Structure 1
C-alpha cells in the first residue's frame, strides 16, 4: 500500500523553509508520510504581487521580527543560524539541481544540506562550487548533474513548477500541499499539514 503524500514547496532563499527542511523528513517518516521536495522560484511569485524583493526587506519592522523569531526557532531546534549576505540569496542554480535530482533517493537530503550551507554556514548557494560540494556527498557525478541542471528541459521543469505554485495559490514558503490540495503555509504549520495528510488519506480510502 502506498504512503499518503505531502508536497513540500520551498525556495532555497526562504528563511522559514530552513527549519522546515531540517524537520520534515524525520517527522514524515515517523508518521509514514511520503514527502516530495518541490522547489519553486518565490521571486516570481513576489514579482506578480508587485514586489522586487522579499517583504522582509520591504518592511523593516517585519524583517527585524522575522530574524529574531527565526533565531528563537533555530535555538529551540538546536540549529545554527547565520544571516545570509546578501538576503535573499539567488537560489536558481540550487533549485535547478533539486529538480534534476528529484527522482533520486537522496533528493531531500540534498535540499536539507543546501539549506544548511546557506543558513548554518553562511555560504553562497549561487556559487556552483558550493552546490558541487553538496552534490559530492551524494553522487560521484556532480559535474554531470550540474550540466544537466542547466539543460533546457530542467529549466522548463522549474518554470512549470513555479507556474504550478502560482496556480495552487501559494504566496510564500514553506508551503505544504496535501493530496486533496489543502494548503498549509509556514514552518509552524508542518505538523498540521502532516495530520491533514492522514485525514485526507482515510477519506480517500473509505
Structure 2
C-alpha cells in the first residue's frame, strides 16, 4: 500500500517557502507522508492577478510585518535568517535545476541549500556560479546538471508546471495539495500532513 502524499508547491524567492522547505522533510517523515516537490514561479501567477511585484513590496505595511514575522518564525525553528539585500530575487534558474532534482531524487537538499543561500547568507541565487557551487558541494556534476536544466524540454516543463499552478487555483507559496484539497502558507503545513493521513 502506497504512503499518503502531499504536493509541495514552492518558490525560491518566497520568504515563507524558505521556512517550509527547511522543515517539510522531517515533518513529513514523522507523519509518514511522501513529499512531491513542485517548484514553480510566482511571477506569472502574480501577473495574472494584476500584480507586477511581490505583494510584500506593493503593500509596505504588509512587507514590514512579513519581515518581522519571518525573523520570529526563523528563530522559533532555529533557522538562520538574514534580510536579503534584494527582494524578490529571480528564482528561475534554481527552479529549473530543482525540476531536474525532483526527477533525479536530490531536490530536497538542493532546495534547502538554495534557500539558505538566499535567506540566510544573502547570496545571489540568480548567479549561475552560486547554483553551480551548491551542486558541486552536493557532489553533483554542476555543468551537466545546469545543461540539463537549460534544455528546452525542461524549460517547457517548468512553464507547464507554473501554468498548472494557476489552473489549480494557487495564488501564493508555499502551497500544499492533498488530492483536490488546497492548503496555503507555511502555517498550514501540519494541517496538510494531517489531512493526508486522515482515515
| Separation of aligned partners in 2, 1:4 and 1:27 | 13
Q: CA separation of 1:42/1:166 partners in 2, compared to 1, >3 Å: closer, same or farther? A: same
Gaps of 5+ in 2: none
1:150-187, Cα deviation, whole Å (9 max, x unpaired) = 11001000000001100110000000011x22100000
Give 3-state SS (helix, strand or coil) of 2:177's partner.
strand
| Separation of aligned partners in 2, 1:100 and 1:59 | 35
1:94-114, Cα deviation, whole Å (9 max, x unpaired) = 000001121223211111111
1:91-132, Cα deviation, whole Å (9 max, x unpaired) = 000000001121223211111111011101111000011111
How far did residue 2 of structure 1 move?
Answer: 1.6
Q: What residue number does 2:118 align with?
A: 118
Give 3-state SS (helix, strand or coil) of 1:28's partner.
helix
Between stretches 145-154 and 102-111, larger displacement belongs to 102-111
Q: What residue number does 2:188 align with?
A: 189
TM-score by length of 1: 0.94
Give 3-state SS (helix, strand or coil) of 2:13's partner.
coil
Q: What residue number does 1:47 align with?
A: 47
Are residues 1:28 and 2:28 paired? yes
| Separation of aligned partners in 1, 2:16 and 2:38 | 15
Q: What residue number does 2:85 align with?
A: 85
TM-score by length of 2: 0.97
| Separation of aligned partners in 2, 1:153 and 1:139 | 25
Q: What residue number does 1:71 align with?
A: 71
Gaps of 5+ in 1: none
Q: What residue number does 1:12 align with?
A: 12
Q: What residue number does 1:142 align with?
A: 142
Give 3-state SS (helix, strand or coil) of 1:169's partner.
coil
| Separation of aligned partners in 2, 1:148 and 1:107 | 14
| Separation of aligned partners in 2, 1:185 and 1:139 | 33
How far did residue 13 of structure 1 move?
Answer: 0.1
| Separation of aligned partners in 1, 2:11 and 2:188 | 17
| Separation of aligned partners in 1, 2:76 and 2:104 | 31
Q: 4+ runs of 1 displaced by more than 6 Å? A: none
| Separation of aligned partners in 2, 1:30 and 1:137 | 27
| Separation of aligned partners in 1, 2:143 and 2:74 | 33
Give 3-state SS (helix, strand or coil) of 2:102's partner.
coil
